[in-house]
Amino acid sequence: MTTRATAGNSVRRANFGELLRVFRQQLDLSQGQLAQRVGLDRSYINRIEAGERGAPGADVILLIADALKLGAPETDALLSAGGHPIRALVTLGLDDPTLLAVARILTDETLEASVRASLRTTIDTVIAHWGSSREAPSPAPAPAPAATRARPSPTTPPRSGDGGSR
């Protein structure tokens, strides 16, 4: 089984062409096969990988990512290496007030590094919690408190286990 490169390893620091080559080779695709899947010229893919051409626009990168069957982290790494914002930032908008507030604090050089590190740790904790809770199955709903449970009406015969007497 081939291990796929992820946004979290050393491939993340690669330039766009190098990263594209790694992802393409992991699928054992030739430059021509990738070009055909995306509708580009093989020589264009070759020049990108060789560093002779810059990264394409985000729309072409998304087509390439789709052709390479990349997951979200790999697609985001490819977008980032190409100098484009990741999809989550585009979806939220670069003017999202929460993102802006966090970015301002994390880049505020008047704050001590330990304060910024503390915020990062807090954010990492929240992300870890929400990430793990999203993947965990939802717990069964708790039974209603006895005072709010539906009781049979006097004209409705009691169900088995309801006690039968009022």
> Is it the case that residue 64 has pLDDT exceeding 90?
yes
Token pair 């990492």 is found at: 124
- Residue reference for tokens 């020589």: 43
Q: Does the pLDDT at position 5 exceed 60?
A: no
pLDDT grade for 154, boundaries at 50, 70 and 90: very low
pLDDT computed for residue 126 by the predictor: 92
Q: Band of the pLDDT at 3, cuts 50, 70, 90?
A: very low
Residue 140 has pLDDT above 80, yes or no: no
Band of pLDDT at residue 83, cut at 50, 70 and 90: very high
pLDDT above 90 (res 152): no
Query: Would you state the pLDDT for residue 130?
Result: 86
Higher pLDDT, 116 or 138: 116
- d(CA 105, CA 108) in angstroms, rounded, equals 5
Q: Taking the C-alpha atoms of 88, 13, 108 and 90 in order, what is their torsion angle to the nearest 10 degrees?
A: -20
Long-range CB contact pairs, 98-106, < 8 A, 24+? none
Chain-centre distance of CA 16, in angstroms?
19
Of the pLDDT bands very low, low, confident and very high (cuts 50, 70, 90), residue 2 is: very low
Q: What is the pLDDT of residue 95?
A: 92
Interatomic CA distance for residues 50 and 40, integer angstroms:
16
